[in-house]
Amino acid sequence: MPHLTPHDVMTMFMALAVLLGCAKLAAELMQKIGQPSILGEISVGIFLGPTVLGRFRPHVYEALFPPLGRCQLCWTPSPHWGVVFFLLTAGLEIDLRSIFRQGKSALLVSLFGVAFPLGAGFLAASIFLNISVRKKERIRSSSRC
């Protein structure tokens, strides 16, 4: 197993410091304007990722997040950890007492938030499948003649 050099470790900690510092700053700014802090953290991830920084300042992005080398050992599992910490943060911010107070309406909203899109997707898929099957049958029947 390859080992990280001191430069790789420094690069990793520098990237983490930039990510965490910018995320905390954006979260505080979002809270000041009355928005959820997670909105600022997600926006920092978009701006510092390949979507914005990697496209408009690729040399800065590659210096902060090297695409090659042993530093990839550090960044390969990081999306998984990010999702885990994101869900942990979201779970810690939930006020369960307010959910229990609004029990019936919260249950209905959550059920319809899942059931309606699922049902609509299933209905659309079955309609498109039937249309596709009919077109294939017409093509087969016209090619036999």
Min mean pLDDT across 36-40, 81-85, 118-122 is at 81-85
Determine the pLDDT at residue 30.
Answer: 94
Determine the pLDDT at residue 103.
Answer: 79
Name the DSSP letter for residue 102: T
Task: Please say if the pLDDT value at position 120 is more than 80.
Answer: yes
Question: 47: closest CA among 33, 31, 60?
Answer: 60
Top-confidence residue, 72 or 13? 13
Task: Please say if the pLDDT value at position 114 is more than 80.
Answer: yes
Query: How far is CA 88 from each of CA 3, 76, 84, 94, rounded to the nearest angstrom?
Result: 30, 20, 6, 10
Q: Kindly report the average pLDDT of the chain as a whole number.
A: 84
Which residue in the block uniquely carries the two structure tokens 């000041």?
A: 32
Determine the pLDDT at residue 99.
Answer: 73
Determine the pLDDT at residue 69.
Answer: 67
Question: 41: closest CA among 70, 83, 11, 12?
Answer: 83
> Phi and psi (nearest 5°) for 76?
-60, -50
Question: 90: closest CA among 20, 143, 140, 42?
Answer: 42
Q: Please report which confidence band the pLDDT of residue 2 belongs to, taking 50, 70 and 90 as the band edges.
A: low
